[in-house]
Amino acid sequence: MTIKTLQIPTADGQADAFAAIPDRGEQHPGVLMYADGFGIRPVLREMAQELAGHGYYVLVPNLFYRHGPAPVIELPEYIGAEARPAVLAQLMPLIEAHTAERTLSDADAYLRFLTAQPEVGAGPVGVTGYCIGGLLATRTAAAHPGQVAALAAFHGPVGADGPDSLAKITAEVQFGHAESDLTPEALGELNQALDAAGVRYTSEIYPGTVHGFTMPDTDAFDPAALRRHWDHLIPLLDRTLTTR
Protein backbone atom coordinates (compact mmCIF):
# COMPACT_ATOMS: atom_id res chain seq x y z
CA MET A 1 0.00 0.00 0.00
CA THR A 2 1.31 3.43 -0.98
CA ILE A 3 0.10 6.75 0.44
CA LYS A 4 0.81 9.81 -1.71
CA THR A 5 0.44 13.42 -0.57
CA LEU A 6 -0.94 15.46 -3.46
CA GLN A 7 -1.96 18.95 -4.57
CA ILE A 8 -5.01 19.18 -6.84
CA PRO A 9 -5.32 22.30 -9.04
CA THR A 10 -8.76 23.89 -8.67
CA ALA A 11 -10.45 27.06 -9.87
CA ASP A 12 -9.71 28.62 -6.48
CA GLY A 13 -6.15 27.41 -5.90
CA GLN A 14 -4.65 24.12 -4.78
CA ALA A 15 -6.50 21.49 -2.75
CA ASP A 16 -4.24 19.36 -0.59
CA ALA A 17 -5.16 15.69 -0.73
CA PHE A 18 -3.83 12.19 -0.34
CA ALA A 19 -4.26 9.00 -2.30
CA ALA A 20 -4.16 5.41 -1.11
CA ILE A 21 -2.86 3.19 -3.91
CA PRO A 22 -2.50 -0.60 -4.11
CA ASP A 23 1.12 -1.71 -4.38
CA ARG A 24 0.48 -3.75 -7.51
CA GLY A 25 1.87 -1.88 -10.48
CA GLU A 26 -1.16 -2.18 -12.75
CA GLN A 27 -3.90 0.40 -13.18
CA HIS A 28 -6.88 0.44 -10.85
CA PRO A 29 -10.41 1.85 -10.86
CA GLY A 30 -10.58 5.30 -9.29
CA VAL A 31 -12.67 6.23 -6.27
CA LEU A 32 -13.17 9.76 -4.97
CA MET A 33 -13.75 9.67 -1.20
CA TYR A 34 -15.25 12.71 0.53
CA ALA A 35 -14.47 13.01 4.23
CA ASP A 36 -17.01 13.83 6.89
CA GLY A 37 -17.24 17.30 8.39
CA PHE A 38 -14.26 16.67 10.69
CA GLY A 39 -12.06 16.33 7.63
CA ILE A 40 -8.86 14.47 6.86
CA ARG A 41 -7.33 12.74 9.88
CA PRO A 42 -5.90 9.31 10.76
CA VAL A 43 -9.31 7.58 10.61
CA LEU A 44 -9.85 8.74 7.02
CA ARG A 45 -6.42 7.46 6.04
CA GLU A 46 -7.26 4.09 7.55
CA MET A 47 -10.57 3.94 5.67
CA ALA A 48 -8.91 4.90 2.38
CA GLN A 49 -6.26 2.24 2.91
CA GLU A 50 -8.93 -0.36 3.65
CA LEU A 51 -10.68 0.48 0.39
CA ALA A 52 -7.43 0.57 -1.59
CA GLY A 53 -6.67 -2.90 -0.26
CA HIS A 54 -9.59 -4.13 -2.36
CA GLY A 55 -7.93 -2.88 -5.54
CA TYR A 56 -8.98 0.76 -5.83
CA TYR A 57 -7.07 4.00 -6.22
CA VAL A 58 -8.67 6.18 -3.53
CA LEU A 59 -8.35 9.97 -3.66
CA VAL A 60 -9.29 11.95 -0.54
CA PRO A 61 -9.24 15.76 -0.92
CA ASN A 62 -9.27 18.34 1.85
CA LEU A 63 -12.79 19.75 1.49
CA PHE A 64 -11.83 22.94 3.31
CA TYR A 65 -8.61 23.75 1.47
CA ARG A 66 -9.73 27.36 0.94
CA HIS A 67 -9.26 27.83 4.68
CA GLY A 68 -5.87 26.10 4.90
CA PRO A 69 -4.27 22.66 4.67
CA ALA A 70 -5.65 19.70 6.61
CA PRO A 71 -6.19 19.54 9.48
CA VAL A 72 -7.82 22.95 9.12
CA ILE A 73 -8.54 23.02 12.86
CA GLU A 74 -6.88 21.17 15.70
CA LEU A 75 -8.82 17.99 16.40
CA PRO A 76 -8.68 15.85 19.52
CA GLU A 77 -7.75 12.20 19.06
CA TYR A 78 -11.26 11.27 20.18
CA ILE A 79 -14.29 13.44 19.45
CA GLY A 80 -16.64 12.73 22.33
CA ALA A 81 -19.53 14.60 23.89
CA GLU A 82 -17.29 17.06 25.72
CA ALA A 83 -15.15 17.98 22.71
CA ARG A 84 -17.86 17.97 20.04
CA PRO A 85 -19.50 21.40 20.69
CA ALA A 86 -16.21 23.31 20.48
CA VAL A 87 -15.10 21.40 17.40
CA LEU A 88 -18.41 21.96 15.61
CA ALA A 89 -18.39 25.66 16.50
CA GLN A 90 -15.15 25.98 14.56
CA LEU A 91 -16.19 23.77 11.65
CA MET A 92 -19.75 24.94 10.95
CA PRO A 93 -18.68 28.24 9.30
CA LEU A 94 -16.42 26.24 6.97
CA ILE A 95 -19.19 23.79 6.14
CA GLU A 96 -21.67 26.61 5.53
CA ALA A 97 -19.16 28.36 3.24
CA HIS A 98 -18.88 25.22 1.11
CA THR A 99 -21.70 26.12 -1.27
CA ALA A 100 -23.20 23.96 -3.98
CA GLU A 101 -21.32 26.07 -6.53
CA ARG A 102 -18.01 25.37 -4.79
CA THR A 103 -18.89 21.70 -4.54
CA LEU A 104 -19.45 21.38 -8.28
CA SER A 105 -16.37 23.39 -9.20
CA ASP A 106 -14.23 21.26 -6.90
CA ALA A 107 -15.81 18.03 -8.14
CA ASP A 108 -14.80 18.90 -11.71
CA ALA A 109 -11.21 19.41 -10.53
CA TYR A 110 -11.11 16.30 -8.37
CA LEU A 111 -12.44 14.01 -11.10
CA ARG A 112 -10.17 15.54 -13.74
CA PHE A 113 -7.18 14.96 -11.46
CA LEU A 114 -8.25 11.45 -10.45
CA THR A 115 -8.74 10.18 -13.97
CA ALA A 116 -5.41 11.67 -15.12
CA GLN A 117 -3.33 9.68 -12.63
CA PRO A 118 -1.14 7.01 -14.24
CA GLU A 119 -2.27 4.42 -11.69
CA VAL A 120 -5.95 4.92 -12.60
CA GLY A 121 -7.39 2.92 -15.46
CA ALA A 122 -9.80 4.13 -18.10
CA GLY A 123 -13.45 3.69 -17.34
CA PRO A 124 -16.02 4.92 -14.85
CA VAL A 125 -15.23 6.00 -11.31
CA GLY A 126 -16.95 5.74 -7.95
CA VAL A 127 -17.67 8.42 -5.37
CA THR A 128 -18.30 7.82 -1.71
CA GLY A 129 -18.78 10.17 1.22
CA TYR A 130 -19.60 10.45 4.91
CA CYS A 131 -21.72 13.04 6.72
CA ILE A 132 -21.54 16.26 4.64
CA GLY A 133 -19.30 14.30 2.29
CA GLY A 134 -22.31 12.14 1.43
CA LEU A 135 -24.08 15.20 0.07
CA LEU A 136 -20.97 16.22 -1.87
CA ALA A 137 -20.73 12.72 -3.33
CA THR A 138 -24.38 12.86 -4.37
CA ARG A 139 -23.92 16.25 -6.02
CA THR A 140 -20.84 14.94 -7.83
CA ALA A 141 -22.67 11.91 -9.18
CA ALA A 142 -25.59 14.05 -10.36
CA ALA A 143 -23.25 16.47 -12.13
CA HIS A 144 -21.21 13.73 -13.85
CA PRO A 145 -23.72 11.06 -14.86
CA GLY A 146 -21.61 9.73 -17.70
CA GLN A 147 -18.52 9.30 -15.55
CA VAL A 148 -19.68 8.22 -12.08
CA ALA A 149 -20.93 4.63 -12.07
CA ALA A 150 -21.12 4.11 -8.30
CA LEU A 151 -22.38 6.47 -5.58
CA ALA A 152 -22.24 5.59 -1.89
CA ALA A 153 -23.11 7.85 1.03
CA PHE A 154 -23.31 7.07 4.72
CA HIS A 155 -25.02 9.17 7.39
CA GLY A 156 -25.13 12.02 4.88
CA PRO A 157 -27.87 14.58 4.11
CA VAL A 158 -28.25 13.19 0.60
CA GLY A 159 -31.73 14.61 0.04
CA ALA A 160 -30.88 18.15 1.10
CA ASP A 161 -31.13 19.55 -2.44
CA GLY A 162 -34.64 18.17 -3.00
CA PRO A 163 -35.97 15.28 -5.08
CA ASP A 164 -35.25 16.93 -8.42
CA SER A 165 -31.53 16.91 -7.61
CA LEU A 166 -31.49 13.13 -7.93
CA ALA A 167 -32.97 13.03 -11.41
CA LYS A 168 -29.64 13.14 -13.28
CA ILE A 169 -27.99 10.31 -11.36
CA THR A 170 -27.19 7.28 -13.50
CA ALA A 171 -24.83 5.62 -11.02
CA GLU A 172 -25.86 2.65 -8.93
CA VAL A 173 -26.53 4.04 -5.45
CA GLN A 174 -25.91 2.82 -1.90
CA PHE A 175 -27.28 5.03 0.89
CA GLY A 176 -26.83 3.99 4.51
CA HIS A 177 -28.72 6.32 6.85
CA ALA A 178 -28.37 6.80 10.58
CA GLU A 179 -31.55 6.11 12.51
CA SER A 180 -31.12 9.46 14.27
CA ASP A 181 -30.93 11.31 10.93
CA LEU A 182 -33.95 10.05 9.04
CA THR A 183 -37.49 9.05 9.93
CA PRO A 184 -39.10 6.14 8.09
CA GLU A 185 -41.40 8.67 6.44
CA ALA A 186 -38.47 10.75 5.19
CA LEU A 187 -36.78 7.58 3.96
CA GLY A 188 -39.91 6.72 2.01
CA GLU A 189 -39.95 10.14 0.36
CA LEU A 190 -36.26 9.88 -0.56
CA ASN A 191 -36.71 6.41 -2.02
CA GLN A 192 -39.76 7.55 -4.00
CA ALA A 193 -37.57 10.25 -5.57
CA LEU A 194 -34.95 7.63 -6.46
CA ASP A 195 -37.67 5.45 -7.97
CA ALA A 196 -38.95 8.37 -10.01
CA ALA A 197 -35.41 9.01 -11.27
CA GLY A 198 -35.09 5.40 -12.38
CA VAL A 199 -32.04 4.88 -10.20
CA ARG A 200 -30.85 1.41 -9.22
CA TYR A 201 -30.34 1.76 -5.49
CA THR A 202 -30.28 0.50 -1.96
CA SER A 203 -31.33 3.14 0.57
CA GLU A 204 -31.91 2.01 4.12
CA ILE A 205 -31.70 3.02 7.76
CA TYR A 206 -29.08 1.21 9.81
CA PRO A 207 -30.98 0.29 12.99
CA GLY A 208 -29.82 1.75 16.27
CA THR A 209 -27.29 4.12 14.72
CA VAL A 210 -26.61 7.81 15.23
CA HIS A 211 -25.04 10.33 12.88
CA GLY A 212 -21.37 9.50 12.32
CA PHE A 213 -21.63 5.76 12.93
CA THR A 214 -18.73 4.86 10.61
CA MET A 215 -16.09 6.92 12.43
CA PRO A 216 -14.11 5.08 15.16
CA ASP A 217 -12.65 8.30 16.60
CA THR A 218 -16.08 9.62 17.64
CA ASP A 219 -18.68 8.69 20.23
CA ALA A 220 -21.12 7.95 17.38
CA PHE A 221 -19.15 4.91 16.26
CA ASP A 222 -20.98 1.62 15.77
CA PRO A 223 -18.65 -1.29 14.86
CA ALA A 224 -21.44 -3.44 13.44
CA ALA A 225 -22.66 -0.58 11.26
CA LEU A 226 -19.14 0.07 9.98
CA ARG A 227 -18.88 -3.61 8.95
CA ARG A 228 -22.26 -3.37 7.26
CA HIS A 229 -21.04 -0.27 5.41
CA TRP A 230 -18.04 -2.20 4.02
CA ASP A 231 -20.24 -5.18 3.18
CA HIS A 232 -22.33 -2.90 0.95
CA LEU A 233 -19.65 -0.56 -0.40
CA ILE A 234 -17.13 -3.10 -1.70
CA PRO A 235 -19.65 -5.18 -3.71
CA LEU A 236 -21.11 -1.97 -5.16
CA LEU A 237 -17.71 -0.90 -6.46
CA ASP A 238 -16.87 -4.41 -7.65
CA ARG A 239 -20.11 -4.54 -9.66
CA THR A 240 -19.83 -1.16 -11.30
CA LEU A 241 -16.14 -0.34 -11.79
CA THR A 242 -14.87 -2.82 -14.33
CA THR A 243 -11.34 -1.57 -15.07
CA ARG A 244 -8.81 -3.85 -13.38
CA angle 32, 33, 38 (to 5 degrees): 150
Give pLDDT, residue 214: 98
pLDDT digits (tens, 9 = 90+) for 105-164: 999 999 999 999 999 999 999 999 999 999 999 999 999 998 999 999 999 999 999 989
How many domains is the chain partitioned into structurally? 1
Q: Which of 28, 16, 219, 8 is closest to 123 using CA atoms? A: 28
State yes or no: pLDDT of 244 exceeds 50.
no
Residues sharing a CB contact under 8 Å with residue 98, sequence separation 6 or more, in sequence order: 63, 64, 132, 136
Give pLDDT, residue 24: 79
For residue 9, the domain's CATH number is 3.40.50.1820
Q: Is the pTM of this model over 0.95?
A: yes
State yes or no: pLDDT of 1 exceeds 90.
no
Task: For residue 2, give the 3-state DSSP assignment.
Answer: strand
State yes or no: pLDDT of 206 exceeds 60.
yes
Containing domain of residue 155, as a range? 2-240
